[in-house]
């Protein structure tokens, strides 16, 4: 099966123009970008997709061996680019997909011209000299809760991830998106996501990067975004006035402005 079919690739904008590939975060799907991508449709060839087991992807394509690390998801990104014959790619990745983009660019740097990392975290677990925002016990508890009752976990975690308590419809949408994912695949993806450590990869990325950080993010605190920016050799850091881990939904205008400024520089 082709990558475009198994990962539910959709395209918008100008075919033949410079491509932007949008990649969503854990448990979500490409609809998370619906307030962002239209701002770029007049100048770019826009490519969106769903990670395996999420959204409209083909869950039967899931292979635990391939996806035992984020490298398998990075290979999917590269497969899409090769299949569509994309070049000079701008990659926009939210949350875990920020690190997926980093790995894709490390594997094939000539394929990518720029990386936009929205709410990135190279490691979620605190360790000596590094603050990720969670203890090891926190993450193990999160994964255990997800494994035992995925629907309940989705309902309880969505408001934490989304923030914006005054806009409950955002958390409700996120919870609904979580619940559309294949639970077994989501559990596997969560374990890979929250136990990964990609700190050592950052210094090897020479593709120009933009780090977009929400000012109030319970999943990837500001200190994490600052760390990512400091470790990347060629990066720009933008702290936007946004609450929650999904500024592509809660603050799309600020997200668009930051990306536009970066691409215009």
pLDDT by residue (tens digit) across 224-257?
999 999 999 999 999 999 999 999 999 999 999 9
Indicate which CATH number applies to the domain containing 164. 3.40.50.1820
Contacts 24+ apart (CB under 8 A), 168-171: 170/244, 170/246, 170/249, 170/250
pLDDT at 133: 95
Q: C-alpha 103: how far from its chain's center?
A: 12
- Residue ranges, the chain, pLDDT below 70: none
pLDDT at 71: 98
CA–CA dist 26, 45 (Å, integer): 24
pLDDT at 30: 96
- If one counts the domains in the chain, the total is 1
pLDDT at 88: 98
Point out the residues that are catalytic. Answer: 95, 217, 245
Q: Environment class of residue 161 by beta-carbon count within 10 Å: exposed (0-12), middle (13-18) or buried (19+)? A: buried
DSSP 101-118: HHHHHHH-GGGEEEEEEE
pLDDT at 195: 97
pLDDT at 181: 84
The model carries a pTM of 0.96
Q: Token digits for 110? A: 């000539």
For tokens 């926190």, name the residue: 138
- List the beta strands (DSSP E) in the chain: 10-13, 19-23, 45-48, 89-94, 112-118, 209-216, 235-243
Q: Which domain holds residue 91?
A: 3-264
Q: Token digits for 43? A: 């100048």
Non-local (6+) Cβ contacts of 45 within 8 A are 11, 13, 14, 15, 16, 17, 18, 19, 20, 86
Non-local (6+) Cβ contacts of 111 within 8 A are 78, 81, 86, 87, 89, 104, 105
For tokens 């448990």, name the residue: 27
């Amino acid at each position: 099966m082709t990558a475009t079919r198994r990962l539910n690739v959709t395209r918008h904008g100008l075919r033949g123009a410079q491509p932007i590939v949008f990649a969503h975060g854990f448990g979500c799907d490409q609809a998370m970008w619906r307030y962002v991508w239209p701002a770029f449709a007049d100048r770019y060839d826009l490519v969106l997709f769903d990670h395996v087991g999420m959204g409209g992807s083909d869950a039967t394509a899931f292979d635990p061996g391939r996806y035992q690390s984020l490298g398998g998801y990075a290979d999917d990104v590269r497969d899409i680019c090769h299949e569509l014959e994309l070049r000079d790619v701008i990659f926009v990745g939210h949350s875990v997909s920020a690190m997926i983009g980093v790995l894709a660019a490390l594997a094939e740097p000539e394929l990518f011209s720029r990386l936009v990392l929205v709410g990135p975290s190279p490691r979620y677990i605190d360790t000596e000299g590094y603050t990720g925002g969670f203890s090891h016990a926190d993450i193990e508890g999160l994964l255990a809760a997800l494994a035992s009752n995925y629907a309940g976990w989705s309902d309880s975690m969505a408001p934490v991830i989304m923030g914006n308590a005054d806009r409950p419809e955002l958390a409700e949408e996120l919870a609904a998106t979580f619940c559309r994912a294949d639970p077994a695949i989501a559990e596997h993806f969560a374990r890979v996501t929250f136990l990964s450590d990609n700190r050592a990869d950052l210094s090897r990325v020479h593709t120009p990067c933009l780090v977009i950080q929400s000012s109030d993010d319970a999943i990837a605190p500001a200190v994490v975004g600052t760390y990512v920016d400091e470790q990347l050799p060629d990066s720009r850091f933008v702290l936007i006035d946004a609450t929650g881990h999904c500024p592509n939904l809660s603050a799309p205008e600020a997200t668009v402005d930051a990306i536009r400024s970066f691409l215009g520089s």
